[in-house]
Structure 1
Amino acid sequence: MTASPFKSYLATLALLMAAGALLAGAFVAVVDPYGLYGFVLRDGFNAVKPGLTRYQNQIKQELALRRRPQFIILGNSRAEIGFDPRASALSALGAGYNLAIPGTGLATSASQFAQLRQAGVQPRTVIVGMEFIDFLNPAAAPAARPVAATTAPAPARAFWRFDTLFSLASVKDAVHTLRIQHDAQAATLTADGFNPLLEYGAHVRRDGYHKMFAQRAQESAANLRRKSTRGLATEDFHALRAFLLAMAATQADIKLVIYPYHAQMLAMFEAAGLWPLFDEWKAGLILAMGAVKAQYPDARISLTDFSGYGVYNCERIPAANERDSATRWYWEAGHFKKALGDIVLQRLMSPTTGAPGDGQFGMPLDGASLAQNRARIAQERGACAAAQPALFATQLLATQDSHSGGRR
């Protein structure tokens, strides 16, 4: 008895679909857009990897586990874009990996460290970018949510590994990988997790830095409008202490970094009424460190403040008609360039090393130095305001506009 033509058709179709899936998977595995397989790594073919647009945490975590880094960098997009693990200041530490993920906070950093520890990877040095905005409460209490509407758990390893091999999105990323090998303006990610932000080069050549800063200022004003000026989130300090305790238990050298916000961003903190909380936040970080050191007296934890209005932070923003003018230290107020990140890392590793004329950029903070640090920033502000008075007036108006919905 012969099979019906319909059954033969279904069998052929199933074989063709299976063959297509296997071919697609083989194509993705060979091109390797996420760096997960390593079958082929060839200049001009797939050596340049595209920036991650999905499974960022999972892929970075997987690559970090394979590298078994001696030091790691944690934080948000400021850290991912600003801190290069291959910076000369970090060369003596051995292999490193930048685990920073845009738009994430302490919970992600703590989870990343815990996963490394569970896998037997204990970095000797941990550099953590501290984000002031993450510790702010929302201006309005969030609406009550049903119990069922909780955050979805991270996808299981088997699922995301399958999806990064057998999916149309992965095929598209593989094709994109082939296209960007000779594109100096493509979004990429290095093998050690650093984002050089090459795509911004095309934006500034087209629009100029003034527009980049203006757009970021509008976004920041809208974000700050949603924050309360009445107090910090105490639960975030509890999470910080737990995270510090976990790191201290491994005897890691913990280096907390207050980002080098551009003066434009700090002026917006002032205009939004957040400056007292900024001071309070720094004191809270010091208290959290002290609580951990009380439990682990030999713990190596440092906090360095790179915020302020110094010569780097107060970099001049090109005017709207200066389309060809470039900045040296900042892409816009939200993100500093690798050039400044390298200086930050140098100060972290050699706190006493300074460049002539840059003041006290990178001031170690503890209970005894808080007042001195406050005086430093006030002095820097005076010099910055004298050099760029419009910067402070403009940010005040921008923040007021954001609070009034653009009506004056």
Structure 2
Amino acid sequence: MFNLGMPGIGLERQFGEALKQIEENTQLESIIFSLDYLDFLYTREDFERPGQEFIWQNLLQPRGMQQRARDVSSLLLSLDTLFSSIKTMAKQHVTSSHISAYGSHYADSYINIMQSEGIKPLFSQKLKQIAQSLQSKRYVSHLGQVEKNPGLKMFATFLEKTRLADIEVTFFISPYHYTYLHMLNKHNHWQSFLQWKMALVSTIEPYKDGHASLWDFSGFSSYTMEPVDFTQPRKLMKWYWEPAHYRSELGEVMLKALTKSTSSSDFARKMEQSTVRDIIILDQKALLQSAAAWQAFSTQIDGD
């Protein structure tokens, strides 16, 4: 199994690295792939970035996957080197998390912040980042139309490549904390988020015959609705570090569901044409039902 759990890289590079594995790893039988809503949002500036059109088109060309991965990796390296250098200089005063040789994410920075400042800064900073991202960009792509959205086009192409290579691929939507979901709603992205789920299901439908599956952990469940206790600011949450990042304990619950293909009514939800509309109805209701919890949380996070 090749688990593409590489934090901090974009969708283009995720697909590129996976295609490279398919070409070069003859023992590869299955892939677990995380899909993030924000990765499927594009602005006019995204389309105008130097080399970006080449990256998208190169991933979709019917050429040898190994050569395509080399081309994309080479261009990404040249672009990423500049951006990484700037980011490194900007973050030199921050204690950074790092990744083990097996791809595990060490949560050193989270632990340090919890010990020194508590949980409120973690949630506050992440929610502000989400808000800034959603507010500062004017998106031009249509999530309901595969041919107009580069992310959905790459998703469809990747499905075809894994089918031809006879590799089982399991996609999943991460369990965002309920405060993250309410931020999407606050900044007018809730309906777009639901539309994205529908688009994923429609795209994967022709490939679901034992080859590809899509699981949704992003609903309002007993896990994602975990309360944030600001009265004990240095006490670790059971499942989350902050709204967008969950702890390894929740990851284990997810892996058990993914590897055993077991679903639950409110957490591990297998998304197909026959289930997605019911899932969306449940999410709509749960958003309203959790409004009081969101209001109480907002009052506390915005207070002194």
Aligning the two structures, in what range does the TM-score lie when normalised by the shorter sequence? 0.7 to 0.9
Find 1:194's aligned residue among 104, 108, 112: 104
Aligned CA distance change for structure 1 residues 290 and 323 (closer, same or farther; 3 Å)? closer
RMSD of the alignment, in Å?
Answer: 3.2
Q: Is the 8 A contact 2:34 2:171 kept in 1?
A: yes
The 5 A counterparts of 1:93-242 are 100-105=6-11, 107-138=12-43, 141=45, 144=48, 154-155=73-74, 187-225=97-135, 226-228=137-139, 231-232=142-143, 234-242=149-157
**Offset, 1:135:** 1.0
Q: Which amino acid in structure 2 is aligned with residue 271 of structure 1?
A: K
Q: Is the 8 A contact 1:130 1:257 kept in 2?
A: yes
**Offset, 1:128:** 0.5
For residues 228 and 140 of structure 2, the distance between their equivalents in structure 1, rounded to whole angstroms, comes to 28
Q: Is the 8 A contact 1:129 1:257 kept in 2?
A: yes
For residues 145 and 223 of structure 1, the distance between their equivalents in structure 2, rounded to whole angstroms, comes to 18
Aligned CA distance change for structure 1 residues 141 and 346 (closer, same or farther; 3 Å)? same
1:360 aligns with 2:266: yes
Higher mean C-alpha deviation, range 243-252 or range 266-275: 243-252
TM-score under structure 1 normalisation?
0.58
1:372 aligns with 2:283: no
Q: Is the 8 A contact 1:385 1:392 kept in 2?
A: no
For residues 288 and 230 of structure 1, the distance between their equivalents in structure 2, rounded to whole angstroms, comes to 16
Aligned CA distance change for structure 1 residues 372 and 393 (closer, same or farther; 3 Å)? farther
For residues 117 and 148 of structure 1, the distance between their equivalents in structure 2, rounded to whole angstroms, comes to 23
Aligned CA distance change for structure 1 residues 268 and 193 (closer, same or farther; 3 Å)? same
Unaligned residue ranges in structure 2 (runs of 5+): 56-70, 76-94
- 1:384 corresponds to: 290
**Offset, 1:146:** 6.9
Q: Is the 8 A contact 1:122 1:250 kept in 2?
A: no
Q: Is the 8 A contact 2:152 2:200 kept in 1?
A: yes
- 1:72 corresponds to: 2
**Offset, 1:367:** 0.9
Unaligned residue ranges in structure 1 (runs of 5+): 1-70, 75-79, 81-99, 157-184, 398-408
For residues 51 and 292 of structure 2, the distance between their equivalents in structure 1, rounded to whole angstroms, comes to 53
Larger Rg: 1
**Offset, 1:269:** 0.7
**Offset, 1:339:** 0.8
SS at match of 1:391: helix
User: Which string of whole-angstrom CA distances, capped at 9 and with x for unpartnered residues, describes residues 255-291 of structure 1?
Assistant: 1101101111111110111111111111111111124
Identity of counterpart residues, as a percentage?
A: 21
Q: Which amino acid in structure 1 is aligned with residue 164 of structure 2?
A: A
- 1:348 corresponds to: 258
For residues 19 and 54 of structure 2, the distance between their equivalents in structure 1, rounded to whole angstroms, comes to 22
For residues 363 and 244 of structure 1, the distance between their equivalents in structure 2, rounded to whole angstroms, comes to 20
Aligned CA distance change for structure 1 residues 276 and 145 (closer, same or farther; 3 Å)? closer
For residues 186 and 144 of structure 1, the distance between their equivalents in structure 2, rounded to whole angstroms, comes to 31
Q: Is the 8 A contact 2:96 2:108 kept in 1?
A: yes
SS at match of 2:131: helix
For residues 97 and 46 of structure 2, the distance between their equivalents in structure 1, rounded to whole angstroms, comes to 35
**Offset, 1:141:** 4.8
Aligned CA distance change for structure 1 residues 393 and 289 (closer, same or farther; 3 Å)? farther
For residues 168 and 46 of structure 2, the distance between their equivalents in structure 1, rounded to whole angstroms, comes to 37
For residues 204 and 217 of structure 1, the distance between their equivalents in structure 2, rounded to whole angstroms, comes to 17
1:322 aligns with 2:232: yes
For residues 14 and 27 of structure 2, the distance between their equivalents in structure 1, rounded to whole angstroms, comes to 14
TM-score under structure 2 normalisation?
0.76
For residues 327 and 203 of structure 1, the distance between their equivalents in structure 2, rounded to whole angstroms, comes to 13
User: Which string of whole-angstrom CA distances, capped at 9 and with x for unpartnered residues, describes residues 336-359 of structure 1?
Assistant: 1111111111111234365xxxx5
- 2:59 corresponds to: none
User: Which string of whole-angstrom CA distances, capped at 9 and with x for unpartnered residues, describes residues 221-265 of structure 1?
Assistant: 111112538733522211111111111222222111011011111
User: Which string of whole-angstrom CA distances, capped at 9 and with x for unpartnered residues, describes residues 159-215 of structure 1?
Assistant: xxxxxxxxxxxxxxxxxxxxxxxxxx9844333121132332111111111110001
By percentage of residues, which structure has more helix?
2
**Offset, 1:145:** 6.1
Aligned CA distance change for structure 1 residues 192 and 375 (closer, same or farther; 3 Å)? same
1:286 aligns with 2:201: yes
For residues 270 and 115 of structure 1, the distance between their equivalents in structure 2, rounded to whole angstroms, comes to 37
SS at match of 1:304: strand
For residues 164 and 178 of structure 2, the distance between their equivalents in structure 1, rounded to whole angstroms, comes to 37
Q: Is the 8 A contact 1:263 1:309 kept in 2?
A: yes
Give the paired residue count.
265
SS at match of 2:116: helix
Q: Which amino acid in structure 1 is aligned with residue 170 of structure 2?
A: K
